[in-house]
Amino acid sequence: MKITSKRSLLIAILGICMAILLLISMSGESQAGPSKPEEPPANETPPNWSRASTLFTENIHQILPSKLTAANLPPPVKDPCLHCHISGEETGLWTPLVRWIMFGGAGLIFAFGIYRSSSIWVTRKPWKPLLSRTADWFDERYEISDPLSKFLSKPVPNFARRWWYCLGGITAFLFVVQGLTGIMLAFYYKPTPDQAYASIQFIETQVNYGSAVRMIHHWSANGMILMCTAHMIRVFIMGAYKKPREFNWVSGVLLLLLTLGFGLTGYLLPWDQRAFWATTVATEIGAAIPVIGDLVLVFARVGWDVAAETLTRFYALHILILPLVTVASMGAHFLMVRRQGIAEPL
């Protein structure tokens, strides 16, 4: 107890020192800081905002009137270009961020030292680390530690540690990768025929790491189909679908079909010639079904042709409906594996 109270005293002193440093730096800044900048003369010609669209290619200072001299400098423009944060030209953000992290961290350490000292003082008990404290708090209310330890201590048979048993896990991880990169792409993608193509161009040329994220999404999609098929072949050859795992196989086939559905709906989204005509012929395969063929075609394309409504429908399927159904099916798939165990090979 003596040691813990000593350590908490040390942390509190460290925090106080940080706070004093912060105060000194703040007061120094307010003294040395510039006085209120002068307003520019009213008869000055305004900036030529009609050229604002050139922000991506030109320096921000180039669009200001050219007759400004060093003696007649306007106050610095404060963050005139929001896009520059996206395209990476703006670097002024980092100084306040670093300042926030430094002094905010110092403040947190200070507050933690005060809390720790007062807690030891009030309870007269040794300090318990925050992590186990939080765990105990939740366990007291939700009684999660018993089922969790049961879940974590379940034995995994040695035969299930060969490499061909991890193909399904790789598929699941690739689905997570697809979800993350897909969310990143959805921030910038616009699902209309007028803007879809341009928004993908924007992602590839302007957005930071946009082309990398799109590349990962593209190849991870192909990898997911390959890994899904490989997992299915492994399960089929080893006869792991047999009693009592019939429905696990059914849910697996459903997941393969959903993956193919992701591929079909996602391929249209760039809205280039390849995407447009690939979707046209792929939906024509559905139209060949007897009796309900036309219905399938009209339902898939929202009309007789691939058009704007097809794009929005495929987009909704791709980012909302298919992920929801897939997550539900994956949950069922994993629960069944967990419950029934991994099939033993002969």
Partner 1 sequence: MAEIDTSTKENSVPFYPVHVSNEAKVVLGISVIAIVIGLIGLFSPVGLGEPADPMNTPAHVKPEWYFLGLYQLLKYISKTAGAVLPIIGVLVITFWPFIDRKPDQSKRSYRNRAIGVAAFMVILIAMTIWGEVS
Q: Which of residues 327-346 bind partner 1 (CB under 8 A)?
A: 341, 344, 346
Nearer to partner 1 by Cβ, of 63 and 226: the residue is: 226
Under rule CB under 8 A, residue 200 binds partner 1: yes
Number of other residues whose CB lies within 10 A of the CB of residue 136: 12
Closest CA to 203 of 220, 193, 219, 215: 215
Under rule CB under 8 A, residue 162 binds partner 1: no
Structure token digits, residue 114:
């005060």
Under rule CB under 8 A, residue 309 binds partner 1: no
Nearer to partner 1 by Cβ, of 120 and 213: the residue is: 213
Please tell me the distance from the alpha carbon of residue 191 to that of residue 128, in angstroms, as a whole number: 53
Structure token digits, residue 197:
């193509």
Closest CA to 262 of 179, 167, 173: 179
Residues 131-150 interacting with partner 1 (rule: CB under 8 A): none
Under rule CB under 8 A, residue 114 binds partner 1: no
Please tell me the distance from the alpha carbon of residue 101 to that of residue 111, in angstroms, as a whole number: 15
Nearer to partner 1 by Cβ, of 110 and 262: the residue is: 262
Please tell me the distance from the alpha carbon of residue 221 to that of residue 318, in angstroms, as a whole number: 12
Per rule CB under 8 A, count of chain residues that contact partner 1: 77
Please tell me the distance from the alpha carbon of residue 342 to that of residue 165, in angstroms, as a whole number: 9
Q: Site for partner 1 (CB under 8 A): which residue of 138, 187, 277, 304?
A: 277
Residues 227-256, one symbol each (x = binds partner 1 by CB under 8 A, - = not), give ------x--xxxx-xxx-xx--xx--xx--
Segment near partner 1 (CB under 8 A), from 19-27, 116-124, 289-297, 325-333?
Answer: 289-297
Nearer to partner 1 by Cβ, of 97 and 253: the residue is: 253
Nearer to partner 1 by Cβ, of 15 and 252: the residue is: 252
Residue 313 CB, nearest approach to partner 1 (Å): 16
Q: Site for partner 1 (CB under 8 A): which residue of 68, 278, 321, 337?
A: 278
Nearer to partner 1 by Cβ, of 18 and 213: the residue is: 213
Nearer to partner 1 by Cβ, of 99 and 161: the residue is: 161
The DSSP secondary-structure symbol of 317 reads I
Q: Site for partner 1 (CB under 8 A): which residue of 56, 103, 173, 188?
A: 173
Residues 177-196 interacting with partner 1 (rule: CB under 8 A): 177, 193
* Pair 321, 328: CB distance under 8 Å: no
Under rule CB under 8 A, residue 218 binds partner 1: yes
In whole angstroms, how far apart are CA 299 and each of 186, 289, 318, 323?
Answer: 24, 13, 15, 20
Nearer to partner 1 by Cβ, of 20 and 307: the residue is: 307
* CA angle, 330 then 332 then 334, to 5°: 65
Beta carbons within 8 Å of 253's beta carbon, 6+ residues apart: 232
- Dihedral sign computed on CA atoms, order 209, 181, 270, 282: positive
Q: Site for partner 1 (CB under 8 A): which residue of 30, 50, 91, 273?
A: 273
Segment near partner 1 (CB under 8 A), from 48-56, 84-92, 130-138, 173-181?
Answer: 173-181
CB half-sphere exposure, 52, CA atoms < 13 A: 10
Closest CA to 285 of 307, 266, 309, 260: 260
Q: Site for partner 1 (CB under 8 A): which residue of 37, 157, 303, 331?
A: 157
Residues 8-27 interacting with partner 1 (rule: CB under 8 A): none
Residue 24 CB, nearest approach to partner 1 (Å): 43
Please tell me the distance from the alpha carbon of residue 315 to that of residue 265, in angstroms, as a whole number: 7
